[in-house]
Homo-oligomer: A and B are copies of this chain.
Amino acid sequence: MPESSTERETQRLEAFSDGVFAIAITLLILEIKVPHLEEGQSLAKALLNLWPSYGAYAFSFWVIGIFWVNHHSFFKLFRRVNHGFLLLNVLFLAAISFIPFPTSVLAEYLRDPARMRNAVTFYALSMCFPVLAWFSMWLYGSRRYRLIDERLEPGYVRFMTRQYAISNVVYIAAVLVSFFSATLGLAMEIGLSLLYFLPQRSPSYLEPLNTQVDLT
């Protein structure tokens, strides 16, 4: 298979994934319904009352947006894809597309003290799937098959493996925490998403890349 065709394949995979990201993120708005008012009710109050929906919209937009930004840098580490990797990516995308559902469950039940805990647990559980699928793609592409750029420094690859593994542990921990305290579980989810404000370690290569400008 010629090199250029393989690269086009990676690009088509990225384009498809971007499409799913873009749609999943935009569908979030469909969960906010226009309030239907009774005689004499104030629209302003009804719109303000929708704050859990705005909050859930903003938060899930942010979370999917972060996954997209990272998918973006993640794929720069790969040189090629294969059948199995494509299938794992489908699973990952299924987990991303699922997010609008737990988001609206959360928005609906955030103010219901008897059910908020269940809603948070469900949300936290749903967040484990994309994180787990991500980790599988990484292990599959860096260990099982060498799909990643062979010029990546082994130290960097080990660092990422460790980081993704920890990420899984923390997301699972958030599910367990939410059994005991919905507020604490939710705080963990928010905290995890805010971590991405920090600059991330950029990939290190065994050889300088700028000598390769014309080849890529």
Which of the segments A96-104, A152-160, A162-170 contacts the partner chain?
A: A96-104
A15 within 8 A of B: yes
A66 to B29, CA, bound (A): 20
Using CB atoms, name the residue of chain B closest to A21.
B16
Q: Which residues of B contact A199 (CB under 8 A)?
A: 83
The smallest C-beta distance from A73 to any residue of chain B, in angstroms, reads 8
A57 to B95, CA, bound (A): 11
A98 to B34, CA, bound (A): 13
Interface 1/0s, chain A 182-216, versus B by CB < 8 A?
A: 00000000000000110110000000011011001
Task: Decide: B65 and A87 in contact? CB cutoff 8 A.
Answer: yes
Secondary structure of the A side of the interface?
Answer: helix
Assess A2 versus B83: contact at CB under 8 Å? Given A19-B23, A94-B65.
no
A140 within 8 A of B: no
Task: Decide: B23 and A22 in contact? CB cutoff 8 A.
Answer: yes
Q: Which residues of B contact A210 (CB under 8 A)?
A: 1-2
A66 to B115, CA, bound (A): 37
Task: Decide: B90 and A69 in contact? CB cutoff 8 A.
Answer: yes
Assess A101 versus B32: contact at CB under 8 Å? Given A65-B90, A90-B61.
yes
The smallest C-beta distance from A198 to any residue of chain B, in angstroms, reads 9
Using CB atoms, name the residue of chain B closest to A26.
B23
Q: Which residues of B contact A147 (CB under 8 A)?
A: none
A30 to B104, CA, bound (A): 11
Task: Decide: B200 and A29 in contact? CB cutoff 8 A.
Answer: no
Task: Decide: B12 and A58 in contact? CB cutoff 8 A.
Answer: no
Cβ contacts A to B, 25 pairs, < 8 Å: A2-B209, A2-B210, A12-B18, A15-B18, A16-B18, A16-B22, A19-B23, A20-B22, A20-B25, A25-B94, A26-B97, A28-B97, A29-B100, A34-B108, A42-B118, A43-B119, A44-B118, A47-B105, A47-B122, A57-B98, A62-B90, A62-B94, A65-B90, A69-B83, A69-B86
The 4 closest A-B pairs by CB, nearest first: A19-B22, A65-B90, A23-B26, A43-B118
